[in-house]
Structure 1
């Protein structure tokens, strides 16, 4: 998606350790007009798949998932990283390692909201090593629901996550695929 690639070139900041900061428009301060275009693109890509729920993980994917869900006319479920008093009863759980935070989280979704009859589209802001997606996929599988695919805003194609998830037979549609990036040379897209 040229619009997203252009925005990454303009406002993205590359840091050492394969970190791309897009917090001025994607995952801290959010550009809602850009999100709307992202949502339209995900709808174009997955509109024929009978999506009934969009699943994401807290926190950065929530805004993008909500705007995309408007285009699909379906609810969003977000996997929580901590069990709270608000989630009572049966839950699906999975472990996820965060590339950005270097921590392992237990993610949780209430069984009440993820059902076997659901056709689930996963939406997330980044795909690097694939741990978040693997965790979300496990939740969908545990629910007996159908995974229609994953919509990713930014894929670091030089890291193993995209290849790993695709090798599992999952359809992954990434709007901006980064071939390489460095502080010296900037970002090169696939």
Structure 2
């Protein structure tokens, strides 16, 4: 997706050989036009998959997942990371390490929002090691829903996350693949 590639090259900030800061376009500020184009692209890629729900993990994946769900005309469900007073106690829950936060968190989805009748598309912003992705996959499996695939805005292909999902036999579509990060340089894959 050329529009996203250009924005990453122009506005992405390399913090280390493993960390890319995309706050200007995905993780702190969002460009609605870019996000809607990303949603349209994912919807096009998965339009014949019979998707009934789009699922993501709080918080940076929500905007892209919303755009995708909007175009597909299906509900968006996001896994919460924090329990609140209104959190449904009857939830699927998984503990997952967070690469960027450097902590282990719980992710949870109320059982009322995922059923065996659902065919799910997971959408997320960035995949690095894939721990959160594998956690949400376990939740979907426990719910009995069918997983159609995984849409990733930015795949850091030099880390193993997306490949571990592919190795499970799950379809992974990435809009942009980053092959390497160096100070001041982002190398994209074709």
Query: Could you state the TM-score of these two structures normalised by the residue count of structure 1?
Result: 0.97
8 Å contact from structure 1 (residues 39, 69) kept in 2: yes
Trace 1:166-181 onto structure 2 (pairs within 5 A): 166-181=166-181
Q: Which residue number corresponds to residue 137 of structure 2?
A: 137
Map residues 28-67 of structure 1 onto 2, 5 A cutoff: 28-67=28-67
Stretches of structure 1 that go unaligned for 5 or more consecutive residues are: none
CA contact (8 A) 2:56 2:122 kept: yes
Structure 2's unaligned 5+ residue stretches are none
Residue-by-residue CA offset, 1:82-112 (whole Å, 9 max, x unaligned): 2222122311011111110011111110001
- CA distance, structure 1, for counterparts of residue 110 and residue 125 of structure 2: 22
CA contact (8 A) 1:128 1:160 kept: yes
Residue deviations 1:33-86 (CA, integer Å, cap 9, x gap): 001110010011001000000110001011111111110001111101122221
Task: Please give the per-residue CA displacement for 1:113-162, whole angstroms capped at 9, x wherever unaligned.
Answer: 11110000000000110111101101100100000000000000000111
Aligned length: 190
Residue aligning to 1:163 = 163
Match of 2:90 in 1: 90
Paired residue for 2:126?
Answer: 126
Are the equivalent residues in 2 in contact too, given 1:54–1:122 (CA < 8 A)? yes
**CA distance in structure 2 between the aligned counterparts of 1:185 and 1:179, rounded to whole angstroms:** 11
Are the equivalent residues in 1 in contact too, given 2:13–2:184 (CA < 8 A)?
Answer: no
Structure 2 counterpart of 1:112: 112
